[in-house]
């Protein structure tokens, strides 16, 4: 298969307006985490000394890649995989609430990750409904 061409047996879904807005928002969020992790951390009530900024940058890259994939291939399967990634992220953030020093940031991060999980789940069901029409 040539680079850049899709396998004709793979159905590429249609991007709904809600999914497009969500993934464009994810691009902005990922960009902020990558470009200004210290500012984001302080805005969430954290301190750069308590959370390595490299973790936020890696998370920013993950969000950028995930948004790019979902904008390019908005299939129900891709959104479901995105929901799984965001759900696992939410669970790890909830686990970090046990650390008193990181609790506020962990709760905020968990809430954001849960929001992305719900978004991707809704987008998966809507992409699936559109592909069945």
Span 72-82, pLDDT tens digits: 999 999 999 99
Q: Percentage of residues in the chain with pLDDT exceeding 70?
A: 84
Span 17-55, pLDDT tens digits: 999 999 999 999 999 999 999 999 999 988 877 668 999
pLDDT at 130: 56
Residue 4 — pLDDT band, cuts 50, 70, 90?
A: very low
Give Dmax over CA atoms of the chain in angstroms.
Answer: 52
Span 8-24, pLDDT tens digits: 333 456 788 999 999 99
pTM (predicted TM-score): 0.83
Long-range contacts of 4-13 (CB under 8 A, 24+ apart): 10/75, 11/75, 11/131, 12/73, 12/74, 12/75, 13/73, 13/74, 13/75, 13/76, 13/78, 13/127, 13/128, 13/130, 13/131
Average pLDDT, the chain: 86
User: Residue 112 has which token pair?
Assistant: 């954001």
User: Residue 93 has which token pair?
Assistant: 């953030």
Mean pLDDT, to the nearest integer, of 100-120? 94
pLDDT at 8: 39
> Does 90 score more than 50 pLDDT?
yes
> Does 100 score more than 70 pLDDT?
yes
> Does 107 score more than 80 pLDDT?
yes
């Amino acid at each position: 298969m040539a680079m850049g061409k899709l396998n004709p047996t793979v159905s590429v879904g249609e991007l709904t307006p809600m999914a497009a807005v969500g993934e464009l928002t994810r691009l902005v969020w990922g960009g902020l985490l990558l470009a200004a992790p210290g500012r984001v951390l302080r805005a969430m009530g954290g301190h750069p000394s308590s959370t390595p900024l490299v973790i936020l940058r890696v998370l920013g890259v993950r969000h950028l890649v995930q948004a790019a994939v979902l904008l390019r291939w908005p299939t129900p399967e891709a959104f479901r995989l995105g929901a799984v990634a965001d759900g696992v992220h939410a669970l790890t953030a909830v686990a970090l609430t046990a650390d008193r020093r990181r609790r506020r940031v962990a709760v905020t991060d968990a809430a954001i990750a849960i929001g992305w999980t719900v978004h991707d789940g809704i987008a998966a069901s809507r992409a699936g409904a559109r592909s069945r029409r």
